[in-house]
Amino acid sequence: MPYDTQPKASHFIDGAYVEDTEGTPIDVIYSATGEKIAQVHAATPAIVEQAIAAAKRAQPEWAAMSGTERGRILRRAADILRERNHDLSVLETYDTGKPYQETSVADATSGADALEYFGGMAATLTGEHIQLGENWVYTRREPLGVCVGIGAWNYPTQIACWKGAPALACGNAMIFKPSETTPLSALKVAEILHEAGLPAGLYNVVQGMGEVGSALVTDPRVDKVSLTGSVPTGRKVYAAAAEGIKHVTMELGGKSPLIVFEDADIENAIGGAILGNFYSSGQVCSNGTRVFVHRDIKEKFLSRLAERLDKAVIGDPMDPDTSFGPMVSERQMQIALDYVEKGKAEGARLAYGGARIDRDGFYMQPTVFADVTDDMVIAREEIFGPVMAVLDFEDEEEVIARANDTEFGLAAGVFTNDLTRAHRVAARFEAGTCYINTYNDAPVEAPFGGSKNSGVGRENSKAAIEHYSQLKSVFVRMDDVEAPF
């Protein structure tokens, strides 16, 4: 292993690396080779206690600092992330298996964007003044207290920053639990935040499986939980948070529609469908995996799509030319391959790929099914792998109804050159994040999140501030108090 992927210790608490080997060992596997590249230990109850106690202790002093001071530290951390982009991208590639071609432009960089954006915003957070005759009310925007972030394995650095940056900007402390599949990158985020001047105890990382997440969520000292994960986990975490009337952000799964009308620029539409199905080997929550293509252009779409998929460079994720890497784990690859079998059994036409690739690691081919119908399992369930379902349609009314006929509502996209149709369709999508003639952009300036079962709350943008702070109203009377007796 040319890189030292073994972290100094499993957890980062109160400004320092902490180990407790009593915790269940978690092996970190490089999915391009199947080899073990590191080991961490799940947090024991003692480690969870240390993290919560440190966060609880450190938070009030942080909240008492000015927004300008808090923001400066976050922006400094953003600069360090960018300076170390190469090393962080290599680590992210080892952690997830995603190609360096992607990690070098999408992970530490988007984390840095969030730290820079919310760092800049920290100084602008204010309440308002409400005049009531000669009396008045003012509002104070206050932090929530101790926030818990729980991550998925597909974007470990980005998720650690998307949750940490707004939480810290608002004056909260954060305890972040990465996915047990990808425990490495969040530790680097913690290290860098402290190097940038973050006081100890404000950004802590603890490792572990669902039980550790659950221990954090149910602790009465925790005020907010932000989860990125699947809908079934979201249901459990939301229910546990409700027990303590805690604030929540839920970034959950999807089965998003992407509609390609007959007048669309077909190369752009195929580009959108490729980004929305095969980037990160299809392991992106907002992917447009139900691609509705107008019947008139379907065969052309499929043949050009196949030509472009032939150009995918599948191989060593560290090679900068590689554009399609392995799945994150053997398990995730097996789940996706099982869906391929289900698609075949249901009578969908396998138009491209469909098999495991014969090499070390957990690689499968980019896969396209055509002639998929709405009732097929591959059109209803989130696969979270490189499996695109192409469905035919004929008219706008019909396709909107079918696009919305799902429990999920994370994202949706439309490709058309008809301006009014584009906006009409976007307005009718039942989804939190919509795209016109593009797919899967996620700039920090724009709200990101889902409706229906795909989530609650929004990450990024000014909207995230609402989910990491609360308003206090202060009534001020200038005249006398009129009491009945």
Q: What amino acid positions are annotated as catalytic residues?
A: 163, 251, 285, 459
How many of the chain's residues bind ligand NAD (CB under 6 A)? 29
Determine the interface stretch with ligand NAD among 10-18, 94-102, 137-145, 224-232 (rule: CB under 6 A): 224-232
Determine the interface stretch with ligand NAD among 12-20, 39-47, 152-160, 418-426 (rule: CB under 6 A): 152-160
- Can residue 151 be called a binding residue for ligand NAD (CB under 6 A)? yes
The set of residues, in sequence order, having a beta carbon less than 8 Å from that of 366 and lying 6+ positions away, is 277, 278, 282, 309, 312, 324, 352, 353, 386, 388
Determine the interface stretch with ligand NAD among 87-95, 135-143, 151-159, 290-298 (rule: CB under 6 A): 151-159
- Can residue 457 be called a binding residue for ligand NAD (CB under 6 A)? no
Of 41 and 177, the one with the shorter C-beta distance to ligand NAD is: 177
Q: Which of residues 360-419 bind ligand NAD (CB under 6 A)?
A: 382, 384, 410
CA distance 69 to 198: 10
Distance of CA 151 to the CA centre of its chain: 8
Residue selected from 40, 252, 337, 403 as contacting ligand NAD according to rule CB under 6 A: 252
Strands 16-18 and 11-13: what pairing?
antiparallel
Coil/strand/helix, residue 208? coil
Of 154 and 416, the one with the shorter C-beta distance to ligand NAD is: 154
Of 253 and 353, the one with the shorter C-beta distance to ligand NAD is: 253
What sections of 324-476 are H helices per DSSP? 330-345, 377-380, 396-404, 419-428, 463-467
Cβ distance 12 to 204 under 8 Å? yes
Of 261 and 468, the one with the shorter C-beta distance to ligand NAD is: 468
- Can residue 209 be called a binding residue for ligand NAD (CB under 6 A)? yes
Q: How does 448-476 read in b/e, with b if 16+ C-beta sit within 10 Å?
A: bbbbbbbbbbbbbbeebbbbbbbeeeeee
- Can residue 455 be called a binding residue for ligand NAD (CB under 6 A)? yes
- Can residue 164 be called a binding residue for ligand NAD (CB under 6 A)? no
Of 191 and 251, the one with the shorter C-beta distance to ligand NAD is: 251
Q: For residue 60, which amino acid is it? A: P
Of 393 and 435, the one with the shorter C-beta distance to ligand NAD is: 435
280: left (phi over 0), alpha (psi -120 to 50) or beta: left
- CA nearest neighbour of 104 among 365, 325, 332: 325
Residue 75: how many other CB atoms lie within 10 Å: 18
Coil/strand/helix, residue 257? strand
Determine the interface stretch with ligand NAD among 12-20, 210-218, 312-320, 385-393 (rule: CB under 6 A): 210-218
* Interface ranges with ligand NAD (CB under 6 A): 150-154, 177, 179-180, 209-210, 213-214, 217, 228-230, 233, 236-237, 251-254, 285, 382, 384, 410, 450, 455
